[in-house]
Amino acid sequence: MSYKDKKVITIGVVSELTGLSERKIRYYEERKLIYPDRSKGGTRKYSFVDVERLIDIANKMEDGMQTFEIRKQEQKLMKKQEVREKMLRGQLNAAFNIRK
């Protein structure tokens, strides 16, 4: 896991980096679009990947997409990716005749 995935950024900085209000950022979490870590005290910690994701979300919101649509779209992409990986693994196994 690289630095991009480390959850170390507080919401104030994320707000500056993305231009989104803290309110919006918390709301997108409530709508299951983003999953920050928490410190013991309860303060949210984000990664740079989260920041990129928030910018992506902001663009889609601007395009008039609703939060549940963004979430569904994301799930579809996940599924596609899974299928792709399964197929790839199957082909690899067949090619090299790997079992287990």
Q: Which residues make up the interface to DNA (CB under 7 A)?
A: 10-13, 21-24, 26-28, 31, 39-44, 61, 66-68
- Residue 15 is a binding residue for its own copies (CB under 8 A): no
**Which among 40, 34, 41 has a CA at the least distance from the CA of 15?**
34
The CA distance from 14 to 1, in Å, is: 20
CB 4 → its own copies: shortest distance, Å? Answer: 6
Instruction: Write out the E strands in 16-82.
Output: 37-38, 44-45
Taking a C-beta distance cutoff of 8 angstroms, is the pair 66, 40 a contact?
no
- Residue 32 is a binding residue for its own copies (CB under 8 A): no
The DSSP letter of residue 3 is G
Q: Which of 35, 38, 39, 88 contacts its own copies by CB under 8 A?
A: 39
The CA distance from 78 to 80, in Å, is: 5
Is 9 or 70 the residue whose CB approaches its own copies more closely?
A: 9
- Residue 10 is a binding residue for its own copies (CB under 8 A): yes
Positions in the binding site for its own copies (CB under 8 A): 3-4, 6, 8-10, 12-13, 17, 39, 45, 48
